[in-house]
Amino acid sequence: MQQSITPQSAFLQLLTANRPQATAWVTGGPSAPQLSGLVKFYDTPYGGILVSAEIFGLPNVVIPGSSNFYAMHIHENGDCSHQFTLTGGHFNPTNQPHPDHAGDLLPLLGNQGYAWGVFYDKRFRTAEIMGRSVIIHANRDDFTSQPSGDSGAKIGCGVIRP
């Protein structure tokens, strides 16, 4: 029986090779100093990006058995100083409403402070996000409120680098 190559097969090979084209080391701010993790961006043969995020120390880490959603976005500026106030708005090169702009990523599901997830996205290219920031917010994204989903305070930030 011949196996066909599917996108999933290619994605697994990318993750196994562990050679992302860009990464963002995310660290927590004053409200979540224990937060840290790595977001990786892989170019794919399908014209899109594979995004992998592994985050530790989310706020629900001290609540046994807890799970909470946290919004994760790409913001315009790669400046995580001043308690993340200089990151600008969501990356939105085509001026789309929320949640359709390129900076809107899938939410993280934190299970007692830990989240891991991988997804495929064709709304941006790696070159377009270099030097921008990945932001983790205190709340879930409601996927409705304009302009950014009422996701709350910025609790983690990392600059996207090659």
CATH number of domain containing 116: 2.60.40.200
* Residue range of the domain that includes 107: 27-161
Determine, yes or no, domain membership for 20.
no
Determine, yes or no, domain membership for 76.
yes
Alpha helices (H) in the chain, listed in sequence order:
7-17, 81-84, 126-129
* The pLDDT value given to residue 80: 98
* The pLDDT value given to residue 93: 94
pLDDT at 100 over 60: yes
**Does the model's pTM come out above 0.85?**
yes
- The count of domains in the chain is 1
Give the separation between CA 23 and CA 12, rounded to whole angstroms.
18
pLDDT at 5 over 90: no
pLDDT at 75 over 60: yes
**Tokens 């001043």 appear where?**
82
Helix (H, G, I), strand (E, B) or coil at 129: helix
Give the separation between CA 142 and CA 127, rounded to whole angstroms.
28
Q: Quick count: other Cβ atoms within 10 Å of Cβ 52?
A: 19
pLDDT at 1 over 80: no
Determine, yes or no, domain membership for 77.
yes
Determine, yes or no, domain membership for 125.
yes
